[in-house]
A = this chain, B = another copy of it.
Amino acid sequence: MKKLFAINKLRELGYKITPQREYILDLFLKSKEHPSAESIYNTLKENFPYISLSTVYNTLNTLVDIGLARAIFLEDKTYFDPNIEPHSHFVCEHCGKIYDLEPVSIDLKSLKTEYISRIHNLDVYIYGICKECTYIKAQ
């Protein structure tokens, strides 16, 4: 997802474009490692020491609300994903790293619809050990 697209969508919905939001967007949109609010905050603080953690939460939550980001809820905390294309995640139980995977194809029509009226979304998490951790352990 591109920054300009996000900026336009925000503006279009009445959000104001502040420097803080741009800093956060810049960092978030180019991240590959599914950052938490705090990790974005810590990185940004190096260059913008007055940025506030609330502002980071506020911006990330807004992006999720308007469909420009995804929240990943794991055991310990919330991670954010700027990739809104359908895809699933692999979580390494050793190092905690979250990897993007191809979308897992699921036949939603085969689901028992006894309880379901409408489907909006789908999350697939696969847990295991990543190759990196296997190699390290093998040493």
Q: Which residues of A contact B (CB under 8 A)?
A: 71, 73-75, 78, 90, 93, 99, 101-102, 104-108, 110-112, 114-134
Contact = CB atoms under 8 A, between A and B. Distances in A.
Contacts of A102: 110-112
Copies of this chain per assembly: 2
Contacts of A107: 105
A126 B134 CA distance: 31
A118 B99 CA distance: 13
B93 A117 contact: no
Given A104-B106, A112-B101, A121 B117 contact: no
A106 B121 contact: no
A120 B116 contact: no
A123 B127 contact: yes
Contact of A128 (B74, B101, B119, B124): B119
3 closest A-B pairs by CB: A117-B134, A121-B127, A119-B128
